[in-house]
Amino acid sequence: MNIIVTGGAGFIGSNFIFHMLKEHPDYRIVCLDALTYAGNLSTLEPVMSNPNFRFVKLDICDREGVYKLFEEEHPDMVVNFAAESHVDRSIENPEVFLNTNIIGTATLMDACRKYGIKRYHQVSTDEVYGDLPLDRPDLFFTEETPIHTSSPYSSSKAGADLLVLAYHRTYGLPVTISRCSNNYGPYHFPEKLIPLMIINCLHDKPLPVYGEGLNVRDWLYVEDHCRAIDLIIHNGRVGEVYNVGGHNEMKNIDIVKLICKALDKPESLITHVTDRKGHDMRYAIDPTKIHNELGWLPETKFADGIKKTIQWYLDNEDWWQPIISGEYQNYYEEMYGNR
Ligand code: NAD
Ligand code: DAU
């Protein structure tokens, strides 16, 4: 089996590559990644010398480059993680989200049509369903929940999902889609809530909570997401969408307080800042379908996963220090300077 994994130098893609090389040591994994601000080649250092692994620096919108890679590799499957993934950046600059997340997805699928493929898997998000009200804890996103997006990011992901399903219906492309809730774990880029709060705590810097911090996210340890995708690409039904989430809903403010406690930092570091525009209130996944059809269940409890994650950031300053010392400083100043 030869699998092209796009966006494999990012957070979830790199964890997926480690998972696949461990669980399927006879598979060839080709990582295609443009190495944007969010891609980090040093993350893939541990597998660079693995003879079953190849890294190719390439933009998924580069049609010529993508076709050339398919001619060289004859992949059996493509798993598309490559995306612009940060909601706040999409609010500042939507265009790159439309290019990568929509045009890039179409380009990859055109290559799959041209050269043939056993499976194209689109890594999507629960954000395509919009949000749920805080006062209706009985409501969850199922695969039948209508698409109803809030941000340019989620709209671009929803656009890609619709294209993926259209390529299945129109051209018979063998596709699957997974829509997962918020991931956390090693190699999470410091712009996102959990690593940002851990790293700020370590520097005794203010912890910028948007609004009152009552928004709810449904957190899943990244390895559990990787296992779900592994199951879907092998056993999932073509043309189907699978929601992935572990019923682990938490308010942002509670996550931040928990991180303060774990690092023995005062809650007085918490600073309430101007809310995100269009901020989704609550995400909550109903994972019944993937559980019943594929037997998937999350394995890592949040209490254990967050401990492991905090420890990982304590042990791997070499990974995140170069990131926060570079261009990230300008981003941080623009995003939080006058907030
Ligand atoms: P990330 O931002 O950490 O990584 C994205 C990767 O894609 C980077 O390595 C980047 O270099 C690469 N990339 C960006 N544009 C590219 C392009 N044009 N061509 C090739 N490579 C490009 O993202 P992540 O958090 O790992 O998310 C991966 C996927 O999972 C995304 O599609 C995202 O929408 C989805 N997702 C994320 C979460 C989450 O909680 N992080 C949850 C559900 C779904
Ligand atoms: O639900 C899946 C989605 O989860 C993925 O599709 C996205 O790619 C991923 O980035 C994530 O989106 P969120 O917007 O939920 O994640 P983020 O870490 O940016 O924010 C989590 C919550 O924390 C959100 O309610 C906003 C809030 N927040 C975030 C940051 C960065 C703060 O209060 N302060 C912050 O500084």
- pLDDT, residue 182, reads 98
- pLDDT, residue 229, reads 99
Q: Which atom of ligand 2 is nearest to the CA of 183?
A: 4
Tell me which residue has tokens 């307080």: 257
Q: Say how many Å lie between the CA of residue 336 and the centre of ligand 2.
A: 15
Share of the chain above pLDDT 70, in %: 100
- pLDDT, residue 40, reads 97
- pLDDT, residue 172, reads 98
317-325 and 328-336 helices, crossing angle to 10°: 70
Ligand 1 mutation pick, 6, 12, 103, max ligand atoms within 8 A of CB: 12
For ligand 1, is residue 155 a contact (CB within 6 Å)? no
Q: What letter represents residue 267's amino acid? A: E
C-alpha pair distances (Å), 228 with each of 124, 130, 180, 245: 13, 22, 9, 10
- pLDDT, residue 39, reads 98
Q: Which two tokens stand for residue 76?
A: 């059996």
- pLDDT, residue 250, reads 98
- pLDDT, residue 292, reads 98
For ligand 1, is residue 183 a contact (CB within 6 Å)? yes
Q: Say how many Å lie between the CA of residue 168 and the centre of ligand 2.
A: 31
- pLDDT, residue 49, reads 98
Q: Which two tokens stand for residue 163?
A: 């294209």
Protein residue whose Cα sits closest to atom 5 of ligand 1: 10
**Regions of the chain with pLDDT less than 70:** none
Ligand 1 mutation pick, 11, 63, 153, 319, max ligand atoms within 8 A of CB: 11
Within 110-254, strands assigned E span 119-125, 175-180, 183-184, 207-210, 216-218, 220-221, 241-244, 249-251
Which residues are known catalytic residues? 126-127, 153
Q: Say how many Å lie between the CA of residue 86 and the centre of ligand 1.
A: 9
- pLDDT, residue 12, reads 99
- pLDDT, residue 251, reads 98
